[in-house]
Chains A and B, each alone.
Chain A
Amino acid sequence: MQEGARTELLRILGEQGFRDDQESRITHSYDGTPMLQALPDAVVYPVDTAQVSAIMKVLARHRIPVVGRGSGTNLCGGTVPLEGGVVMVMHRMNRILEVDLDNLTATVQPGLITKDFIAHVEGLGLFYPPDPSSMAISTIGGNIAECSGGLRGLKYGTTKDYVLGLEAVLPSGEIIRTGGKLMKDVAGYDLTKLLVGSEGTLAIVTEATLKLIPPPAAKKTMLAMYADLYDAARTVSRIIERRIIPATLEFLDNPTIRVVDAYAGLGLPLDMAAILLIEQDGPPELVERDIGQIEAICREERAVRVQVAESAEEAQKLLTARRSAFTALARLRPTTILEDATVPRSKIADMVLEINRIAAKHAVNICTFGHAGDGNLHPTATTDARDQDEIHRVEAAFAEIFEASIRLGGTITGEHGVGVVKAPYLEWKVGAAGIEVMRAIKSSFDPHNLLNPGKVFAKETRKRVVIDRG
């Protein structure tokens, strides 16, 4: 890093807040995305908005790129500093500034750990639904940048549905405030929603006002087990068709069941082709009624066994085990590449079949699990980064999965973000004109392309493989 910029940053941050030693650079060169690594030139740890603003001014003057980072658990390469520069770690800005019990809102700093926040508001008798699988370590700021989903997205929506207002620092160092403790606000373009899911390419979020809701009075969790994959997938569409919206409706195929059980030791049925993990919450009568109806639908769709969790503790264990699925698949092969192609909910069974067909065609092993209830599947290739040939086949298979997803009316990513890994496919979903609009938005926020460069927009779009299937 240029000596001038280094001195200025050190002056703002002190020894505690600025590091450019080998150890810090290596340990901020990756995130949860496989096979992706790039070293930053320095790592900074701001403590407040004023510091963030001052840092941004220095970086803008010296034209140094900056990547905001929470805990680095994202799966799209969102926090890998592809073009070097500075990684800005938000961990020291991790306070809950206020929980407003009159308005049912919370105002927090971005470095706050999601699970700590959820536990805190639950202690006050309130509920914050977004619960990405990494929530034990992910940060609210990271969730906002990626618009994280989770297991409760089906009924409660995702992060974007709970962000009411933001304070953010622009690349120029200017501080903007959007939205507020407001349930209605149409004053101009909705910059709040624009920043949520912008993957750190538009501004650095320094404060967020979040919506809280009353918690459900009761909940019940059940497992439905299937000898046939398609039956399980079809059940998902049937449940929605019958106008039941469960809080959680998760799908796990056989290899996923096996690795999850190897990790969590829950005694899951290892001989089943697939299981559905279903949770309903709400008033007790409604929960009873829905669970009864769901059970009946599962049986109609040839579930071999249906089992309702006996205690809250057992239910919690099942959900926690499900959250480990992605990493647990690494037990099979060292490298796991997962995607989150998402389709309309009615198409979930078709998508499961497509994934299996494509995997067979390219001779790659793809396990599938995911938030089936929102049409959001996580086909995961278990492979080995050291086997170049296989990696190429995995790549080809995923390109085809994206294509299939779009053909079914879906998208290339439901909740993980575009980052660097899906950038070459973005145009398939949004079209050339869509990309142009997005680029224009990017340059109006960040004219010098300093915020998380190399993300969202690809240098080149992948050629779309259109398969004529009659």
Chain B
Amino acid sequence: MAESTLEKRGARTAVNGPEAGLTKLNPLADKLKLRLDEDQLTNCMRCGFCLPACPTFRETGIEAESPRGRIALMKAVADGLMDPDEAFETQMNHCLGCRACEPACPADVKYGQLIEQARDAIEDHTTSHRWWVKTVRSVMFKQVFPKQRNMRLLGGALQLYQRTGLARLARGAGAMKLLPRHLADMEAIMPAASRTGVVDRIGEHVPARGPRIAKVGLFRGCLMDVLFTETNVKTAELLATAGFEVVIPPAQNCCGALHAHSGEAEGARALARRNIRAFREAGVDYIVSNAGGCGAALVEYDHLLHEDVQWREDAAWFAQRVIDVSELLMRSGRVTELLAVGLPETRDAAQAASSEAGSRASAPPVADGDPRAGAVAGGTPIAAAACAPAAETITYQDSCHLRNVMRSAEAPRRLLQQVAGTCYTEMCESDRCCGSAGIYNLTQPEMAGDILAHKMEHANRTGAGVILTSNPGCLLQMKLGVKRHGRDAEVTHVVDYLHRRLRIQEAPRRG
């Protein structure tokens, strides 16, 4: 097979080296050959356009750390040129999975699918996980994420730890020093966990305020509903304010993103089927996600189940309806009207800001001093805003999966720009991964740390007092960034911020 791809215009070019004609038995190689989509591997024509978009390539400058390099490695295995060894496995795990290479690829190679296929094959064969990693993986992937009840129990335990002073005790006793620094840091920025989820708080149904536009199903997420329950509640309230009837089907479960990214494809499919059933039965017009990472997994259920004859159609139905909360709020128009008008007390500030803008027409460009800013920043170009002294300066960090997979980069920015009394400042390279990448910051702390350090240089230069994101992982990572390298900035979810600025009347809450 290898040889045929090497024929070039009549002149045969043989691959030199002893690897050619590899015959050794390697079950992982066989599995990879089976799993990897040959068409996608062939579609990569190695033009290199993805290289500048790739965070790990930019950090290292090493070809193997780029999408083109990783695809070449996969193809070398598929072609029998290379034996997948431990280095291969390490390299596949080094990828953040941010998928910034996909919008950069003119040939439309589905890199995200390839890396998941590779990891899936690796996961079946790896010998590198130590026993405790295996145990933790098994418990988390099979018992915790898929079962919201267990997720709640974990939330309860975490809450207990945080509230009873056990946390203080642990920190005081130096127990955190036993953990690697990145885990200890993570522990410190972890938000207060909650024993009760969004359904416990506001029920399964929130009616639209004003004329109803459509019926939407809220995807609450697993971790999201334990660590960011309040954001879920506010998402429902914002949607209701925007004119949507909100239902929260209680039978839904984890989206399966972490499973798929970690090579547990079968687990991901089982979760997908349960979610599809839950939302299909609820008969919704849209399925709304407020976490870019989850949304990206949901929107690809059609691909995940494309070989499943029984579920294929329902999966397509589901995938078509998935939308991010910012996108839907933009489309409704009502929230944007409210934001633009502003509240009585913010309206004055807004007027001050606009008159100030008039007098300082030639405000400096928003991108900071990085020479590459104009060259590679894919961030939406935003007109320079002149900030009134009283205005709150805010900035936005893209969720990679919201941007690169759901392709919703504009909506959150447009919403934020319309908040009266604030000054939106675009961060240089806001379209680049912050290093969170699911559980990457836990599994690859070194690379994640380097990426975060660069990210915070840009964040600090915006002078923003509030850093906004659209995904819980990014939110925690940016908090970690502020703690390690930052100025005193608040990090919060776009939904929470909009809710706060609009002072939306809260729905009646239980307990």
Q: Does B associate with A?
A: yes
Residue B47 interfacial (CB < 8 Å)? yes
> What are 8 A-to-B residue pairs whose CB atoms are below 8 Å?
A22-B82, A27-B63, A29-B15, A37-B15, A136-B52, A136-B375, A327-B47, A385-B5
Given A27-B72, A119-B372 in contact, is the A22-B16 Cβ separation under 8 Å?
A: no
Instruction: Mark A329-348 against chain B: 1 for CB-CB distance below 8 A, else 0.
Output: 01100111000000000000
What's the nearest-Cβ distance from chain B to residue A199, in Å?
Answer: 17
Residues of A within 8 A of B372 (CB): 116, 119
Residue B337 interfacial (CB < 8 Å)? no
Are A30's CB and B61's CB within 8 A? no
Q: Once the chains are docked, how many angstroms separate the CA of A249 from the CA of B113?
A: 38
Are A334's CB and B8's CB within 8 A? no
What's the nearest-Cβ distance from chain A to residue B485, in Å?
Answer: 24
Residue A120 interfacial (CB < 8 Å)? yes
Residue of B nearest to A462 (CB): B10
Residue B11 interfacial (CB < 8 Å)? yes
Q: Which of B4, B13, B42, B48 contacts A388 (CB 8 A)?
A: B4
Q: Once the chains are docked, how many angstroms separate the CA of A33 from the CA of B73?
A: 17
Instruction: Mark B15-49 against chain A: 1 for CB-CB distance below 8 A, else 0.
Output: 11101000000000000000000010011011111
Residues of B within 8 A of A262 (CB): 108
Are B8's CB and A36's CB within 8 A? yes
14 other A-B residue contacts (CB within 8 Å) besides A30-B72, A120-B371? A26-B72, A34-B46, A35-B7, A37-B15, A72-B48, A72-B63, A73-B48, A77-B8, A136-B52, A334-B45, A388-B4, A388-B7, A398-B9, A421-B9
Are A35's CB and B8's CB within 8 A? yes
What's the nearest-Cβ distance from chain A to residue B458, in Å?
Answer: 16
Assign chain B's interface to a size class.
Answer: 35 or more
Are B76's CB and A26's CB within 8 A? yes
What's the nearest-Cβ distance from chain B to residue A146, in Å?
Answer: 14
Which of B52, B63, B105, B108 has most chain A Cβ within 10 Å? B63
Are A137's CB and B49's CB within 8 A? yes
Q: Once the chains are docked, how many angstroms separate the CA of A325 from the CA of B106?
A: 8
Residue A82 interfacial (CB < 8 Å)? yes
Residue of A nearest to B373 (CB): A119
Q: Which of B83-91, B117-125, B180-188, B393-401 contacts A (4 or more CB under 8 A)?
A: B83-91
Which of B6, B10, B73 has most chain A Cβ within 10 Å? B10
Q: Once the chains are docked, how many angstroms separate the CA of A115 from the CA of B373?
A: 11
Are A424's CB and B17's CB within 8 A? no
Residue B169 interfacial (CB < 8 Å)? no
Residue B139 interfacial (CB < 8 Å)? no
Residue of B nearest to A330 (CB): B107
Given A27-B64, A82-B13, A263-B108 in contact, is the A136-B49 Cβ separation under 8 Å?
A: yes
Are A324's CB and B49's CB within 8 A? yes
Residues of A within 8 A of B319 (CB): none
Residue B374 interfacial (CB < 8 Å)? yes
Are B69's CB and A334's CB within 8 A? no
What's the nearest-Cβ distance from chain A to residue B79, in Å?
Answer: 9
Q: Once the chains are docked, how many angstroms separate the CA of A325 from the CA of B107?
A: 9
Residue B363 interfacial (CB < 8 Å)? no
Residues of B within 8 A of A327 (CB): 45, 47, 49, 105-107
> Which residues on A are within 8 Å of B, measured CB to CB?
21-39, 41, 71-73, 77, 80, 82-84, 89, 91-92, 113, 115-116, 118-120, 123, 134, 136-138, 259-260, 262-263, 313, 324-328, 330-331, 334-336, 384-386, 388, 391-392, 395, 398, 420-421, 424
Residues of B within 8 A of A80 (CB): 13
Are B6's CB and A35's CB within 8 A? yes
Residues of B within 8 A of A72 (CB): 46, 48, 63
Residue of B nearest to A94 (CB): B61
Are A26's CB and B13's CB within 8 A? no
Are B371's CB and A328's CB within 8 A? no
Given A328-B107, A386-B4 in contact, is the A119-B47 Cβ separation under 8 Å?
A: no
Are A21's CB and B87's CB within 8 A? yes
Residue B405 interfacial (CB < 8 Å)? no
Are B48's CB and A119's CB within 8 A? no
Q: Once the chains are docked, how many angstroms separate the CA of A62 from the CA of B324?
A: 61
What's the nearest-Cβ distance from chain A to residue B202, in Å?
Answer: 39
Residues of B within 8 A of A21 (CB): 87
Q: Which of B10, B42, B51 contacts A385 (CB 8 A)?
A: B42
Are A391's CB and B7's CB within 8 A? yes
What's the nearest-Cβ distance from chain B to residue A211, in Å?
Answer: 20
Are B91's CB and A23's CB within 8 A? yes
Which of A23, A30, A115, A420 has most chain B Cβ within 10 Å? A23
Given A36-B8, A37-B5 in contact, is the A336-B45 Cβ separation under 8 Å?
A: yes
Q: Once the chains are docked, how many angstroms separate the CA of A259 from the CA of B371?
A: 31
> Which residues on B are within 8 Å of A, measured CB to CB?
4-11, 13-17, 19, 39, 42-43, 45-49, 51-52, 61, 63-64, 69, 72-73, 76, 81-83, 85, 87-88, 91, 105-108, 371-372, 374-376, 381
What's the nearest-Cβ distance from chain B to residue A126, in Å?
Answer: 13
Given A22-B85, A23-B91, A27-B73 in contact, is the A34-B45 Cβ separation under 8 Å?
A: yes
Residue of A nearest to B90 (CB): A23
Are B11's CB and A84's CB within 8 A? no
Residue of B nearest to A263 (CB): B106
Q: Once the chains are docked, how many angstroms separate the CA of A386 from the CA of B5?
A: 7
What's the nearest-Cβ distance from chain B to residue A423, in Å?
Answer: 9
What's the nearest-Cβ distance from chain A to residue B373, in Å?
Answer: 8
Residues of B within 8 A of A36 (CB): 6, 8, 13
Are B17's CB and A25's CB within 8 A? yes
Residue of B nearest to A21 (CB): B87
Q: Which of A32, A82, A137 contacts B45 (CB 8 A)?
A: A32
What's the nearest-Cβ distance from chain B to residue A384, in Å?
Answer: 8
Are B375's CB and A116's CB within 8 A? yes
Residues of A within 8 A of B9 (CB): 391, 395, 398, 421, 424
Given A39-B16, A136-B49 in contact, is the A119-B371 Cβ separation under 8 Å?
A: yes
Q: Once the chains are docked, how many angstroms separate the CA of A138 from the CA of B52?
A: 10
What's the nearest-Cβ distance from chain B to residue A48, in Å?
Answer: 16
Given A134-B49, A327-B49 in contact, is the A334-B43 Cβ separation under 8 Å?
A: yes
Residues of B within 8 A of A113 (CB): 52
Residue of A nearest to B44 (CB): A330
Are B371's CB and A395's CB within 8 A? no
Q: Which of A26, A33, A82, A115 contacts B82 (CB 8 A)?
A: A26
Residues of A within 8 A of B16 (CB): 38-39, 83-84
Residue of B nearest to A34 (CB): B45
Q: Once the chains are docked, how many angstroms separate the CA of A92 from the CA of B60?
A: 10
Residues of A within 8 A of B14 (CB): 38
Are B64's CB and A23's CB within 8 A? yes
What's the nearest-Cβ distance from chain B to residue A37, in Å?
Answer: 6
What's the nearest-Cβ distance from chain B to residue A140, in Å?
Answer: 14
Are A84's CB and B49's CB within 8 A? no
Residues of B within 8 A of A118 (CB): 375
Are B83's CB and A22's CB within 8 A? yes
Given A24-B64, A36-B13, A115-B376 in contact, is the A71-B48 Cβ separation under 8 Å?
A: yes
Q: Once the chains are docked, how many angstroms separate the CA of A201 from the CA of B86?
A: 36
Residues of B within 8 A of A30 (CB): 46, 72
Are B39's CB and A334's CB within 8 A? yes
Q: Which of A26, A313, A328, A336 contacts B81 (CB 8 A)?
A: A26
Given A37-B5, A39-B15 in contact, is the A23-B42 Cβ separation under 8 Å?
A: no
Are A28's CB and B63's CB within 8 A? yes
Residues of B within 8 A of A137 (CB): 48-49, 51-52
Are B5's CB and A84's CB within 8 A? no
Residue of B nearest to A460 (CB): B11
Residue of A nearest to B84 (CB): A22
Residue of B nearest to A337 (CB): B9
Q: Once the chains are docked, how many angstroms separate the CA of A325 from the CA of B73?
A: 26
Are A134's CB and B48's CB within 8 A? yes
Are A23's CB and B87's CB within 8 A? yes
- Sorted nearest first, the 10 A-B pairs with minimum C-beta distance are A330-B107, A327-B106, A324-B106, A328-B106, A119-B375, A334-B42, A27-B63, A27-B69, A73-B48, A327-B47
Q: Once the chains are docked, how many angstroms separate the CA of A334 from the CA of B82?
A: 22
Q: Which of A32, A115, A388, A398 contacts B46 (CB 8 A)?
A: A32
Are B13's CB and A38's CB within 8 A? yes
Are B10's CB and A395's CB within 8 A? yes
